[in-house]
């Protein structure tokens, strides 16, 4: 059996040599698209009409709408994850927030004070200070972490040998927190770009 069949383009009348294993093709002379129909040993050409194109476009748009919905849901989940990550990673310090061993917590809280343009009430009860500081630490952003890290390099900080290990561990955890949040933000940005592209497809 031949690997191709010769048929006439129903639009321009030119003879076409068409590979036997394809189902859809465009005429090399007039550019119109056609489908191959096989049945009973007969091969014929069916022009792709506007109705068929509309069906295909409709399918594409349905798929685009579903994908946009999925991407928006993923963005929401990533944003929620970024809100819970600080608590997930820093909760092991919760008992130390203004507790018996507040270093490096007092140092970090003072840096956040400067960033926020506020001043914690050092005259208040310890429990109140602890709650204010805990809530602020559990709401850290990438910008907060960058600020803390940069400022820590220039602040006059001399942790004692007893506290040095705690400082190192704390800043390692901040690095981990920042990495995870940045990765989530990258995914959010990629999804947003894809939503924009699909939205243009739907409006065309």
Domain ranges of the chain: 4-48, 58-203
Tell me if 96 sits within 8 A of 123, measured CB to CB: no
Separation between Cα atoms, residue 44 and residue 15, nearest integer Å: 13
Of how many residues is the chain composed?
A: 204
May I ask the CATH class of domain 4-48?
mainly beta
Say whether 117 sits in a helix, a strand or coil: coil
Per-position pLDDT tens, the chain of length 204: 446 677 787 778 888 777 766 677 777 787 777 776 776 667 776 665 555 455 555 657 778 888 889 999 999 999 999 999 999 998 887 765 544 344 456 677 777 878 887 765 554 555 666 677 778 888 999 999 998 888 876 664 555 555 667 777 888 899 999 999 999 999 999 999 988 888 887 776
At 149 the pLDDT is 85
Tell me if 107 sits within 8 A of 153, measured CB to CB: no
pTM: 0.61
Return the structure tokens found at 180.
Answer: 């995870």
Task: Give the H or E element holding residue 173.
Answer: helix 161-203
β-pair partners for 26: 33
């Amino acid at each position: 059996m031949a690997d191709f069949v010769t048929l006439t383009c129903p639009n321009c009348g030119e003879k076409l040599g068409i590979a036997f294993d394809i189902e859809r093709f465009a005429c090399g002379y007039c550019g119109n698209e056609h489908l191959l129909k096989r049945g009973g040993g007969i091969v014929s050409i069916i022009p792709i009409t506007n109705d068929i194109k509309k069906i295909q476009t409709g399918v594409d748009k349905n798929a685009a709408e579903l994908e946009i919905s999925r991407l928006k849901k993923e963005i929401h989940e990533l944003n929620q994850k970024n809100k819970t990550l600080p608590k997930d990673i820093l909760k092991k310090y919760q008992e130390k927030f203004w507790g018996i061993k507040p270093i490096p917590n007092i140092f970090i809280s003072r840096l956040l004070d400067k960033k926020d343009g506020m001043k914690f009430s050092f005259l208040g009860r310890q429990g109140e200070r602890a709650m204010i500081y805990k809530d602020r630490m559990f709401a850290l952003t990438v910008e907060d972490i960058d600020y803390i890290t940069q400022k820590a390099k220039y602040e006059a900080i001399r942790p004692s040998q007893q506290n040095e290990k705690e400082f190192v561990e704390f800043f390692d955890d901040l690095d981990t927190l920042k990495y995870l949040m940045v990765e989530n933000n990258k995914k959010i940005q990629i999804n947003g770009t894809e939503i924009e592209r699909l939205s243009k497809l739907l409006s065309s």
